Amino acid sequence: MNIVFLDGYTLQTSDSTLDPIKALGKFRVFDRTEIQQVVERSYDAEVIIVNKTSITAEHIAKLPNLRLICVAATGYDKIDIKAARQRGIPVCNCADYSTQAVAQMALSLLLEAANDVGFYTEKNRNGEWCSCEDFCYTMHSRLDLEGKRAAIVGFGHIGRAFANFLHPMGIEIYAVTSKQKSELPEYVTPISLEQAFQTCDIVSLNCPLTERNREFVNASLLSHAKKGMFLVNTARGALINEQDVAQALHEGTLGAYCTDVLTQEPPSANCPLLKAPNAYITPHIAWKTPLTVQRIVDIVTRNIQAFADGNPQSVVN
């Protein structure tokens, strides 16, 4: 098989990381590929692997040998899956490879917002505790998480894992989900989206991005939010209207916005969230640990081999 990886820089943590994929056929990898380079680099490819590179209907129409598209991630919104389906080309993703890692980052962001560990660490580096008269140097109160109410919007693998982290901390867990109560852990109570924002201290976005929910967290929804609510987003940046969320932070409607994702990545210098108060932002790294990278490589390898054996798996279209 002729296999091309169009943006392999995200996974090449060592010279041997991609060896299992290389063993499947003729293999080429590019660090990054601009949208106008896709056809040229993939023209002879039977299998394309991408992480965040877009594959459009126009690309698919110009690639005569293409038989399989592998997404080296869970989300596949960068692929025109309808155009691929019309050509009979399976699109396979990597589901559930980073569940614990992303939930861990969501918890880390929440704990940072609640406890200001980084803030006080920087103060200590600047010698402010050294010059303090008291043993306890505090500039503002921390947030007690015990007894708080948290709503998980989208109760899939990651949402469930995050709930499992929060529940032992004494947090009441609610879920905005289409699942029935019988499908949820006994400690989770279903709730509507509006009720979640009105009554919960923490709301975590763990749902996929679709055209129906793009920017659903906006000024209208936030106008009914419980004052001081913490909003966590480790799903997709475009689930929120960034200007509206930044404004809610400035006004104090939101107590914090904790996110690993932005609408544009990398962000422009004038992204309103970058300078908003109490915005805790990491650069889309929640998914990436040594263990998760190895899992992606293993899943992509299995997906390609299964397709070659005539039994495609992990097909999303």
Q: What percent of the chain has pLDDT over 90?
A: 92
- State residue 77's pLDDT score: 86
Catalytic residue among 236, 242, 251, 295: 236
As given in the structure block, the two tokens for residue 93 are 């993703």
**Confidence check: pLDDT of 307 > 80:** yes
Measure the CA–CA gap between 113 and 106, rounded to whole angstroms.
11
Please say if 284 is a catalytic residue. yes
Query: Does 34 score more than 90 pLDDT?
Result: yes
Three-state SS string over 141-200 comes to: CCCCCCCCEEEEECCCHHHHHHHHHHHHHCCEEEEECCCCHHHCCCCEEECCHHHHHHHC
**Location of structure tokens 């392999």:** 8
Residue 265 confidence class, pLDDT cut points 50, 70, 90: very high
> What mean pLDDT do residues 8-12 have?
88
Cβ neighbours for 141, distance < 8 A, ≥ 6 positions apart? none
Helices and strands in the chain: count of H runs, count of E runs: 11, 12
Specify the pLDDT at position 141. 86
pTM for the whole thing?
Answer: 0.90
pLDDT band of 93, cuts 50, 70, 90:
very high
Beta bridge partners of 315: 92
Q: Give me the catalytic one of 58, 122, 128, 265.
A: 265
Whether 236 is catalytic is: yes
Half-sphere exposure of 247 (CA within 13 A, CB side): 12
Distance (Å, whole) CA 42 – CA 49: 10
Q: Which of 28, 284, 295, 302 is catalytic?
A: 284
- pLDDT value for 129: 93
Mean pLDDT of all residues in 192-208: 97
Q: Is 302 noted as a catalytic residue in this protein?
A: no
Answer left, alpha or beta for residue 173, where phi above 0 means left and psi between -120 and 50 means alpha. Answer: beta
pLDDT band of residue 160 (cuts 50, 70, 90) is very high
Interval 304-310 mean pLDDT: 97
DSSP class of residue 315 equals B
Provide the angle, in degrees to the nearest 10, between the axes of the packed helices 99-115 and 157-166: 40
Q: Locate the DSSP E strands across the chain.
A: 2-5, 26-29, 47-50, 68-71, 91-92, 149-153, 172-176, 188-190, 202-205, 229-233, 254-259, 279-281
Average pLDDT over residues 211-239: 96
Q: In whole angstroms, how far apart are CA 91 and each of 6, 193, 259?
A: 15, 31, 28
Task: Say what the alpha-carbon torsion angle 110, 111, 113, 117 is, to the nearest 10 degrees.
Answer: -150
Mean pLDDT, rounded, of the chain: 95
